[in-house]
Amino acid sequence: MKTKRYAIVLDTRRCIDCKACTVACKAENDVPLGEDKHRNWVTQEPLRGTFPNLGQSFSPSQCNQCANPPCNSVCPTSATGITPEGIVTVNADKCIGCKYCMLACPYDARYYNEETGVIDKCTFCIQRVAVGRIPACVETCPTKVRVFGDLNDPESEVSLLLAKHRYTVLKPELGTKPFLYYLI
Amino acid sequence: MSRLIDKKLSRRRFIGTSTCALAGVGLASQGRVLRALATSEEPLSGKLGDNRDVFTACGMCVNKCGVIARVRDGRIYKLDPNPEYLKSRGMLCARGNAGLNQVYDPDRLKYPLIRVGERGEGKWRRASWEEALDLVAKKMNEIAEKHTRAGVMFASTEGTFQEHFFLQMAECFGSPNTVRHPTLCLSSNIQGFSATFGTYPSADILNSDYIIMAGANRSEALLTPDSIDQLKGDGGRRKLVYLDPRFTKTAAKADEWYPIKPGTDMAFVLAMIHVIIGEGLYAKDFVATTTVGFDELAAHVQQYSPEWAEQHCQIAAADIRRVAREFAKAAPKALFYPGRRSSFADDDVQLRRAMAIVNAIVGSWDTEGGLVPNSVIPLSKHDYLAPWYDDVPERIDKDSAVFLSEKDGSWTAMRDRILAADPYAIKGMMVYKQNLVMSVPNRAKTLKMMKQMDFICTIDICMSDTAWLSDVVLPEATYLERQDPLESLSGVVPVVAFRQPCVEAMFESKPCLWIMQNLAKRLGSEIAETFDFTMDEHIHHQVSKNPQILKDLKKKGVYYLKVEPSYGLTQGKRLKTKSGKIELYSENYASKGLDPMPVFRPHAEVPPGKFRLLVGRNAYFTHGTTANNAFLHELMPENSLWLNPQAAQKLGLRNGQPVKVKSAVGEGVLRLEVTDKIRPDCVYMAHGFGVLSKGQSLIYGRGACDAALIEDALEPISGNVAMHQTFVDVSPA
């Protein structure tokens, strides 16, 4: 059987900025409380226009699970690794909390967890995926902004979405090869 | 003021600061909170190896969504949505996810408390349940002796599934003075739609092609399944027209947003009716067979042209005309959304009548994509024989509204009568989880009313402002620790929900039933007998006619009969109106001296230099009850005052500066948020802040309380409060 290649496809037009994903992630992954501690987030984009002609978008995001992750190459202790399914992980035993990876990540997806002394980030809820479940942010979302799946399976929902719709990735010019796809 | 916006910057800034400074933020992770709780006076009830997945229903707001609690080593570590639970469409919002912090909240009530200092001073002593309940029973009896049993009032929350036991206590104790939340919420809505259709229907949002929402912010005031269907059903064919003085997150998702002048929605709706009838766009067969009073309506709305409406609601006549035409064209898969909370202006019942009528004339009734009468799955009721007392008078707020609910009362009318002791005195308050200090407008009056009380007992899970001002505070077990009765939730697709304990109740907290049973024992055998059952017996009685309900609930956490909506069930049948038809003209209203059809009368203009204060929800908080939840607190640590840049410039005020907001009944200080998202003649603040209770440690001292500012104007038909009729001054603090 072919190895899986996990990805998340986001349709941000559905996002209502309710923050269910952020709280679900914090609970699932025991992320410490505090505004700057989070594995995923929703950014309120600046208001467009002036009263009464206004528009606003909401941009949910998290670790892009890059195929070519800058956080990996700067890590002095090889704490960062990539699973065969493409999930970028942090080995807590090896991490010394030096924060190089935080500076290297162009998506600001990593944070320092004082409780563990380790840099932490989204792992697509690897503990859930391992037992056949989907990431907490995907499952809990009221409007189903995110779809999680295997890009190596041409019949998977993520593959079908990317086949059918136009999409973009964040900062493609950096060559990080993200696996978070945004429908446009 | 959502704070996650700046997180990227802040993280980068933090890299440059020391770790010590970071640790100084002082917010503990759940892990740390759990450990702290575990090492406090009592151990956690959990056991290593106690791993279970428990079906239950969320208790964070009114929606009661389906939840699977993941219990690991005896602790709830995660709440997940139940995919089988139709009503919530397999989702769980931020509040639902944050529910586990209700259980492991260091601020939660742990033991019965008896006040030792002055009221509101925050001095308590821990008491045993025996002592606390003895005292409550003694005080209730003393007040009953002196002032009759009506001298004790009972204010109740709803949605805990156990409020029925609290209301049973009120009835068996013999007080007619129960009060619940509808007159702070949707009583005018229920009245207006029921007067027209004989019932308050749901909206089949999922299948509708054209939706007009006015005063219902469904992307923030989450209502399942409506909030979800609003986006889910959209495949590019759906149109959402949204009327709101604020650019909310619903506005951000709408196809068209109109910042309507508050209090003029009725003018918009009447002009729509004018166009639809005038241009012959109404559903002629439907109107002829199913409604009464069309000719009267047609004559009545002749005066309400779009050009006339534009003068009032400040929406261009051309837009009103176009929206009316598009709406009629999309009908019957079109709906003017009824909304839920309707406590806006003192003519709200007539506004809701107008909204009901515009749906009726295009045939958006009991049909796919339109308004649909609710179905409900029957459960057997728990019967009891309440003791009879001879000398008890009628409700204190009797006749304060044309259609007053016997059980719900009218909150502000009742408070006025209590303050005036008219026609008799109420000296005792029993409160079940309703945070009335925070939720009833004109807080100064509420505080005065409480001051007048000889005795106040509050049952809650946290030290709410109401608990803070009580004499006895009793800790209830949270919704994740209780076995609750089954609850039948009506809807287009009705379900039955239930709750089972995910973990044992922590500390000395007890479920409401236990508290009522043990209080009843102290109030005499006649009352105690009505509570002589166990929760298990109660539940089995509920399903005695259909045991499958309980089997399904245990197996998949929800019971339902069908997954698809049924339409047309009322076709050819009598509706529950006087005429048995949809009443465009209401004989019933006419006979009571009310306008039989909605008549627009302009409201007071905003005085120069002042602003209209608006209220409204966000997706993070449930009224005044969850702002102190650690998970939610960090999403919005305090509220701010929205003010349009034009107005801010005129006043010389800057974004972020503290400002004083002052109304005729109160004032508050909070930070200014200068934003284009609001009309220049209005200001807005989120609900849930400016608390009095120091027992809400995360939010005490933060933001301002809207209830302190809002005046208590009354909608006279339903007894609902009118929350958008307060004008405020804004000045530098």
pLDDT in tens, B288-322: 999 999 999 999 999 999 999 999 999 999 999 99
CATH number for region B113-185+380-476+511-532? 3.40.50.740
Minimal Cβ distance to B91: which of A26, A33, A141: A141
> Per-residue confidence at B32, pLDDT binned at 50, 70, 90?
very low
Minimal Cβ distance to A140: which of B5, B23, B81: B81
**Is B82's Cβ below 8 Å from some Cβ in A?**
no
pLDDT value at residue B235:
56
Mean pLDDT of chain B: 93
The C-alpha R_g of chain A, in whole angstroms, comes to 16
Residue ranges of the domains in chain B?
44-104+483-506+535-564, 113-185+380-476+511-532, 218-372+579-591, 611-732
**Is B106's Cβ below 8 Å from some Cβ in A?**
no
pLDDT value at residue B351:
98
Give pLDDT tens digits for A116-163: 999 999 999 999 999 999 999 999 999 999 999 999 999 999 999 999
**Contact (CB<8Å) A102/B28:** no
Which range has the worst mean pLDDT, A23-27, A33-37, A178-182? A33-37
Pseudo-torsion of CA B138, B141, B143, B145, nearest 10°? Answer: -140
Nearest residue in B to A62, CA atom: B8
**Is A90's Cβ below 8 Å from some Cβ in B?**
no
**Contact (CB<8Å) B2/A33:** no
pLDDT value at residue B287:
98
Q: What percentage of chain B has pLDDT greater than the value 90?
A: 91
3-state secondary structure of B69: strand
User: Which residues in B lie closer than 8 A to residue A57 (C-beta atoms)?
Assistant: 252
* Cross-strand partners of A8: A148, A180
Mutation for B interface: A10, A29, A51, most B CBs within 10 A = A51
3-state secondary structure of B520: helix
Shortest distance, CA A72 to any CA of chain B (angstroms): 18
**Contact (CB<8Å) A24/B97:** yes
pLDDT value at residue B102:
95
H helical segments located in A29-82: 70-74
**Contact (CB<8Å) A34/B27:** yes
Which residues does A55 contact at the CB level (< 8 Å), separation at least 6?
A47, A48, A49, B252
Say what angle helices B317-330 and B265-278 make with each other, to 10 degrees: 60
User: Which residues in B lie closer than 8 A to residue A47 (C-beta atoms)?
Assistant: 247, 675-677
**Contact (CB<8Å) B10/A36:** yes
**Contact (CB<8Å) A136/B677:** no
**Among candidates B561, B432, B426, which has minimal Cα distance to B488?**
B561
**Contact (CB<8Å) A47/B247:** yes
Minimal Cβ distance to B32: which of A14, A28, A115: A115
Minimal Cβ distance to A30: which of B25, B31, B92: B31
Cα angle for residues A135, B223, B675 (degrees, 5° grid): 90
Q: What is the mean pLDDT of residues A97-115?
A: 96
**Is A24's Cβ below 8 Å from some Cβ in B?**
yes
Give pLDDT tens digits for B92-142: 999 999 999 999 999 999 999 999 999 999 999 999 999 999 999 999 999
Other C-beta atoms lying within 10 Å of the C-beta of residue A167: 14
pLDDT value at residue B493:
93
> Per-residue confidence at B48, pLDDT binned at 50, 70, 90?
confident
CA distances from B595 to B192, B298, B575, B578 (A): 12, 15, 21, 16
**Is B631's Cβ below 8 Å from some Cβ in A?**
yes
Locus of tokens 């068209």: B256
Whether B346 and B725 have beta carbons less than 8 Å apart is answered as: yes
Chain A residues 109-128 with a CB less than 8 Å from chain B: 111-112, 114-115
Task: Judge whether residue B566 has pLDDT over 50.
Answer: yes
pLDDT value at residue B24:
31
Minimal Cβ distance to A142: which of B91, B620, B675: B91
Cα angle for residues B606, B608, B610 (degrees, 5° grid): 65
Per-residue HEC secondary structure of B219-247 comes to: CCCCCCCHHHHHHHCCCCCCEEEEECCEC
Chain A residues 130-149 with a CB less than 8 Å from chain B: 136, 139-144
Which residues does B485 contact at the CB level (< 8 Å), separation at least 6?
B161, B162, B164, B498, B535, B538, B539, B542
Say what angle helices B512-523 and B163-173 make with each other, to 10 degrees: 10
**Contact (CB<8Å) B29/A31:** yes
Give pLDDT tens digits for B667-717: 999 999 999 999 999 999 999 999 999 999 999 999 999 999 999 999 999
**Is A68's Cβ below 8 Å from some Cβ in B?**
no
* Helix or strand (DSSP H, E) at B484: strand B484-489
Chain B residues 637-676 with a CB less than 8 Å from chain A: 637, 644-646, 675-676
Assembly ipTM: 0.97
Shortest distance, CA A86 to any CA of chain B (angstroms): 24
**Contact (CB<8Å) A54/B78:** no
Q: What percentage of chain B has pLDDT greater than the value 70?
A: 93
Mutation for A interface: B80, B232, B238, B257, most A CBs within 10 A = B80
Greatest alpha-carbon span in chain A? 56
CATH architecture of the domain formed by B218-372+579-591: 3-Layer(aba) Sandwich (3.40)
Per-residue HEC secondary structure of B136-205 comes to: HHHHHHHHHHHHCHHHEEEEECCCCCCHHHHHHHHHHHCCCCEECHHHHCCHHHHHHHHHHHCCCCEECH
Shortest distance, CA B91 to any CA of chain A (angstroms): 5
Locus of tokens 């207006």: B192
Give pLDDT tens digits for B368-378: 999 999 999 99
Q: What is the mean pLDDT of residues B332-348?
A: 95
Q: What is the mean pLDDT of residues B373-390?
A: 94
B44-104+483-506+535-564 topology per CATH: Phosphorylase Kinase; domain 1 (3.30.200)
Task: Judge whether residue B35 has pLDDT over 50.
Answer: no
Minimal Cβ distance to B97: which of A27, A36, A112: A27
* Helix or strand (DSSP H, E) at B446: helix B443-451
Give pLDDT tens digits for B574-603: 999 999 999 999 999 999 999 999 999 999
Per-residue HEC secondary structure of B302-362 comes to: HHCCHHHHHHHHCCCHHHHHHHHHHHHHHCCCEEECCCCCCCCCCCHHHHHHHHHHHHHHC
Q: How far apart are CA B223 and CA A167, in angstroms?
A: 31
Q: What percentage of chain A has pLDDT greater than the value 90?
A: 98
A92: which 2 tokens?
């807590």
**Contact (CB<8Å) A19/B12:** no
Shortest distance, CA A181 to any CA of chain B (angstroms): 20
Minimal Cβ distance to B15: which of A30, A99, A140: A99
Task: Judge whether residue B13 has pLDDT over 70.
Answer: no
**Contact (CB<8Å) B93/A34:** no
**Among candidates B410, B370, B400, which has minimal Cα distance to B178?**
B410
Other C-beta atoms lying within 10 Å of the C-beta of residue B239: 19
pLDDT value at residue B557:
96
Of the two residues B41 and B217, the one the predictor is more confident about is B217
DSSP assignment of B85-150: -GGGTT---HHHHHTHHHHS-TTB--S-EEE-SSTTS--EEE--HHHHHHHHHHHHHHHHHHH-GG
Locus of tokens 């919704």: B479
> Per-residue confidence at B628, pLDDT binned at 50, 70, 90?
very high
pLDDT value at residue B391:
87
**Among candidates B663, B707, B715, B714, which has minimal Cα distance to B688?**
B707
Residue ranges of the domains in chain A?
6-183
Shortest distance, CA B252 to any CA of chain A (angstroms): 6
Task: Judge whether residue B4 has pLDDT over 50.
Answer: no
- Residue B699 phi/psi, 5-degree rounding, is -110, -5
Pseudo-torsion of CA B137, B139, B140, B143, nearest 10°? Answer: 160
Give the helix, strand, coil percentages of chain A, each rounded to 5.
25, 25, 55
**Is A44's Cβ below 8 Å from some Cβ in B?**
yes
Domain B611-732: CATH class, spelled out: mainly beta
Q: What is the mean pLDDT of residues B489-498?
A: 94
Give pLDDT tens digits for B224-277: 999 999 887 555 578 999 999 999 999 999 999 999 999 999 999 999 999 999
pLDDT value at residue B17:
36
A138: which 2 tokens?
């995907």
> Per-residue confidence at B11, pLDDT binned at 50, 70, 90?
low
CA distances from B187 to B200, B624, B654 (A): 10, 19, 39
Q: How many CB pairs under 8 A join A and B?
A: 172
Task: Judge whether residue B15 has pLDDT over 80.
Answer: no
ω into B423 cis (within 30 of 0): yes
A6-183 topology per CATH: Alpha-Beta Plaits (3.30.70)
Task: Detail the DSSP E strand segments found in chain A.
Answer: 6-10, 40-44, 48-50, 53-55, 58-62, 80-82, 88-90, 111-113, 118-120, 146-150, 167-168, 180-183
